[in-house]
Chain A
């Protein structure tokens, strides 16, 4: 599904990504872990087109996507969330959900003026789907509140909601459960897992909680100082010396 080959990204003299290669197969959940500053979010930013790479190749569904703009990559079915959840201030929760919907009618002024009849049924369908998802995410009572007024955890939920609404082939989740309470976290994990199983989606997830990682991931990559230092099943990497060393700092 997603294949990253020898990716390199520098910020001045700092090498944020150093020859990173990894592969996410279709229909799987892959974790990406590593200490702070190890390059996880940078990798997301490069893959999703927000940063330009310095070297390397990125393939999605067999097509090369490095060099494309973020919106073009998202259109191909590779969508991401942000570590600091984006929450447009003067934009209600429901509007956020509708914004994310794919294949909308009336996204240009001409259609807005002359295709009123075709817009309404699509909008109605999208509202229905948004309501369903908001119920799952327990945001339904807040549907007409401004996203800027939500708590940090709720903003995280909303960004998941937008992604589910868009329903891409592959999702990049940047710490989706940070700041979300443990009960809801486990529910979210279940939702992500179910969605992935039912619709055969692929997920690449950055997460700090080992509990989340081991309950959801088929495979894990570990980054440290911009390099992949280990890969394997959650159980395997928990016993990997290099990984323990990176996290705990003891030889």
Chain B
């Protein structure tokens, strides 16, 4: 693999993880929904799109959209217990939900291929590009998705809906006392987050062209959490920065592996230990992350005197 190809690969993965961490940040940083099963959207998006593409041969655009819809629907399903579970108990339920879906993918071989996964997933517009240029095109596609999602999420979080979500994060009882249907608001937030996560899953599946349950361990959720803890919550730029930094770190330790006499197994464990340390350092010394949540200031052009 040449260095250019490697950089393109790296940037595509940053983009995919940026989508996942933006989706997680939308739940955690705005609505205060502690989701420990974020990987489930990634998983559902990847499987939905790749299964539709390989089994039915439908246009890939349709597969991508279906991935978003199915994953958004699962966001809705996950939000149902928020009415009876307090946030920390709900967090554990999400962890379990993600594992259930991974185990379904592992065991329902007739549909998902079981441990062998889904192979030879078609790539969008592959015929238009040469083998060398295709990754560059894919990078562009991922970048467009990141920009589009960033733009849409910014519109959403800047709106009265975003304000309601932030208020739920801060004081749910206050929202209730002001007549906000917090359950419906959380539900809508989870659908949006699910759709973004599903898009990331579809992009991943059609880029790697091979997925299996191995890709969707709970450790992935942990990485996404590391991204928003390091990058900062309550703003979308922080989520993207965090994704880039954690991915960079993940990749760079792979290079170090060539110079240090450690097996790949111990390297992988070491990587996790270091990311864990990074989380501890950030939580203790810079809990708001690298990019702080901005204070929302309204411009008052309506009154001339002031």
Contacts and interface: CB of A to CB of B under 8 A. Distances in A.
A27 to B, nearest CB: 22
Interface stretch (B7-15, B171-179, B237-245, B275-283): B171-179
Contacts of A80: 177
A131 B303 contact: yes
B170 A69 contact: no
B170 A90 contact: yes
A23 to B, nearest CB: 23
B25 to A, nearest CB: 15
Interface string A53-89: 0000000000000000111101100011110001111
Interface string A79-116: 11110001111111011001110101111110111001
B164 A99 contact: yes
A71 B295 contact: no
A71 B181 contact: yes
Contact of A109 (B176, B192, B293): B192
B167 A91 contact: yes
Interface residues of B, number: 38
A123 B162 CA distance: 13
Contacts of B173: 50, 70, 82, 86
A134 B155 CA distance: 27
Contacts of A108: 161, 185, 188
A113 B164 contact: no
Interface in B112-155: 152, 155
B174 A88 contact: yes
Nearest to B295: A92
Contacts, number: 117
A162 interface: yes
B170 A91 contact: yes
Contacts of B298: 94, 98, 123, 127
Nearest to A132: B303
Contact of B179 (A71, A82, A95, A123): A71
A225 to B, nearest CB: 27
Contacts of B181: 71-72
A128 B300 CA distance: 8
A124 B303 CA distance: 10
Given A127-B300, A146-B295, A113 B155 contact: yes
Interface of B: 152, 155-156, 158-164, 166-167, 170-171, 173-182, 185, 188-189, 191-192, 234, 293, 295-298, 300, 302-303
Closest 7 CB pairs of A and B: A88-B170, A112-B159, A74-B179, A70-B176, A86-B174, A75-B179, A106-B159
25 contacts: A49-B176, A50-B173, A71-B175, A71-B178, A71-B182, A74-B178, A75-B179, A86-B174, A91-B166, A92-B295, A92-B297, A94-B298, A98-B160, A98-B298, A104-B160, A107-B160, A107-B164, A108-B161, A108-B188, A109-B189, A113-B152, A119-B159, A119-B160, A128-B302, A128-B303
